[in-house]
Amino acid sequence: MAAPALDASPAELRQALGQAQVSFNCLREELIKMRNKLNKFKAKVAPRVRSRALKSIAQGLLDAAIVTLAKKYAYFYHLWVPSGIFPLHACPPDFDLHDPIHYQTPESKAIANSAKLYLMVPPELQAQTMKYEHFEQLFTSTVNGEHGNILKPVKDSVMQLFAHLSPGLDLVALSDWRKRMDNLAFLSLLKQNPANPDEAYTPLAPILFEDPSAMNVSSLFKNKALTQIACVLHFGKGILTGKKKGGPPSRGQKLKATTMPEGIIAICCTFARFLLSGDDEFSSTSSQTGISYKKDFEFYIELL
C-alpha cells in the first residue's frame, strides 16, 4: 500500500485512509486467531511443563553468560581456575583486591580470587550465578577449553615471534618439538646452565629477560618475544606481517581488550617457554620436560 502524495486531493486521502483501515482490520483478525491458537495450546500443556520450558530458556541465557565470563577470565586473569574459589560467594563490602594482605596465605588468596571472579559477574546475574548448581562445572570446563584457542594463533606465528633470535636459533626447529628437546640453543633460553642435563627448568627463564644472556632484574618481562606474543593475542597474526585487514578477529578483539593485565603477561611468559621447550602438547604439567606450566603461571601472577 503506497502512501498518498503530499499534494493528494481530499478524495485520494479518503481512499488511502479506507485502504489503511481495511489492512488494519485484516491484521487484527490474524492476531486474534493467533492469540486463540496460543490459548488452546497453553490449555493442553500442563503448568509444570510450561514452567520447566521457561526455566530451560532462562538457564540457556545464563549458560551463555557464564561461557562468556569464563572466556574473559581465562584471557585476562587466570589460564587455569585457582583452587578454593568455589562455591562462589558475594564479595565482602569495601574489599580491596590490590591489598597484599589478601595474598599472604592460601586461604586468603582463595578468598581474593573468589572475590575477583564475583566482581566479574554482571550485577544482574550475581544472585542467579551463586545459586546455579552447574556454575562451577560449566565455568571450569570452559576455562580449560580456552587453552588451545588462546595458544593457536601464537603457535601459528612461532617463527616470526622468535626471528630476532636468529641465526643462533634454528627457526626450522621451532616447528618440531623433537629438534628442540636437546638443542643447546633452545635450552640456553630456558635454563641458566643448558649443558647440565640434570638442572631443573627455572620459572625465571632467560627468554623472559630483555637480553637472555644478561638476566638483569630490571629487564624481566621485557624480551621482544613477549611483546610480540601479546600483540598477536590482542590484534591477531597479521600484526607481525603488516596485514591490517582481513582474517578472523583476534581473541583480544573478540573480548574487547583495551588493557594489558597481569594475566595476559603471565600467558605470554608461559607460552614463550612452551614454544621453546621440547614439549609437544600444552598442559598443566608436561610429561616430557616436567615443566609445571600451571604452577609457573601462578608464580608469574604473584610476581606481577
pLDDT tens-digit map of 218-237 = 999 999 999 999 999 998 88
User: Would you call 258 helix, strand, or coil by DSSP?
Assistant: coil
Torsion of the alpha carbons at 33, 36, 37 and 39, rounded to the nearest 10: 160
| CA distances in angstroms from 187 to 259, 278, 290, listed in the order given | 32, 9, 14
**How many CB atoms lie under 10 A from the CB of residue 179?**
14
Q: Which of 100-114, 186-200, 279-293 has the highest mean pLDDT?
A: 279-293
Per-residue pLDDT, 57: 43
pLDDT at 274 over 90: yes
HSE-CB of 14 using CA atoms within 13 angstroms: 3
* pLDDT, average across residues 26-35: 84
Between 183 and 79, name the one with better pLDDT: 79
Per-residue pLDDT tens over the stretch 243-273 = 766 677 888 888 888 888 889 999 999 999 9
pLDDT at 20 over 90: no
Q: For the packed helices 262-276 and 293-303, what is the interaxial angle rounded to 10 degrees?
A: 140
Cell of 121: 559477574
| CA distances in angstroms from 199 to 156, 184, 192, 286, listed in the order given | 30, 13, 9, 16
Per-residue pLDDT tens over the stretch 164-195 = 887 778 888 888 888 888 888 888 899 888 77
Per-residue pLDDT, 49: 57
Q: How far is residue 223's CA from residue 201's CA, in Å, rounded to a whole number?
A: 18
pLDDT at 52 over 80: no
Q: How far is residue 50's CA from residue 281's CA, in Å, rounded to a whole number?
A: 47
Cell of 296: 609457573
Between 208 and 166, name the one with better pLDDT: 208
pLDDT at 42 over 80: no
Per-residue pLDDT, 54: 45
Per-residue pLDDT, 58: 44
When the pLDDT of each residue in the chain is averaged and rounded to a whole number, the result is: 84
Q: How far is residue 112's CA from residue 103's CA, in Å, rounded to a whole number?
A: 7
Report how far Cα 277 is from the mean position of its chain's Cα atoms. 24
For CA atoms 288, 290, 293, 294, give the dihedral sign.
positive
Cell of 106: 592460601
Could you tell me where the DSSP H helices lie in the chain? 10-44, 47-76, 106-120, 126-131, 135-156, 158-161, 177-180, 184-187, 224-235, 251-254, 262-276, 293-303
